[in-house]
Amino acid sequence: MTANKLYNVLFLCTGNSARSILAESLLNHWGHGKFRGFSAGSFPKGQVDPLAVELLQRMNLPAENLRSKSWHEFAAPGAPPLDFIFTVCDNAAGEVCPVWPGKPMTAHWGIADPAAVEGTDAEKAFAFRKALKQLETRIKLFTSLPIASLDSATLQARLREIGKSHTATEPA
């Protein structure tokens, strides 16, 4: 991988309504023009969770043009060439994925599903903030990697380590 390359990163989840959407926005914010984030789902819900959009807007993160879409869009001819694919939910990590042109590097960065939280509005909001903070920590670690100077095995190991990193339970 070269030093001045724009790296395309796809975040996968089952519904593509919360975690992968948050990750797409975060990477496009923290990627500083070196990374471009996308998100998709194996069984997309067809709409972005309103709590995800509200949180992104409140945190001054990109929230426009986000949509729930199928991962098949990224395996089709004319799709952006992918350099990295990260699964952010347990379901997507175990599913059979399409064949990705160019064989991007992959890793699993599982995050608890904030959209599955039942309870008060405050408890739901807390779950979304916690997921955002965990993803933000991992994305900052990822964007700080010297990708161009790492060999494939070392880079793959670092990507897996990032997926195991935890953050404090206090939200942003």
Q: 110 pLDDT exceeds 50?
A: yes
* Tally of residues, the chain: 172
Whole-angstrom distance, CA of residue 150 vs CA of residue 95: 29
Active-site option among 40, 89, 92, 135 = 89
CA distances from 55 to 61, 64, 154, 166, 172 (A): 8, 13, 34, 20, 10
Percent pLDDT > 70 in the chain is: 87
Verify whether residue 97 is a known catalytic residue: yes
Q: Angle 98-29-168 (CA atoms, 0-180°, nearest 5)?
A: 90
pLDDT tens digit sequence for 44-101: 999 999 999 999 999 999 999 999 999 999 988 999 999 999 999 865 555 556 667 7
Verify whether residue 89 is a known catalytic residue: yes
Domain ranges of the chain: 7-164
- 49 near 115, Cβ under 8 Å? yes
Active-site option among 63, 97, 115, 145 = 97
Would you state the pLDDT for residue 4? Answer: 77
Q: Which CATH superfamily is domain 7-164 in?
A: Response regulator (3.40.50.2300)
pTM summary value: 0.90
Verify whether residue 38 is a known catalytic residue: no
Active-site option among 13, 27, 105, 147 = 13
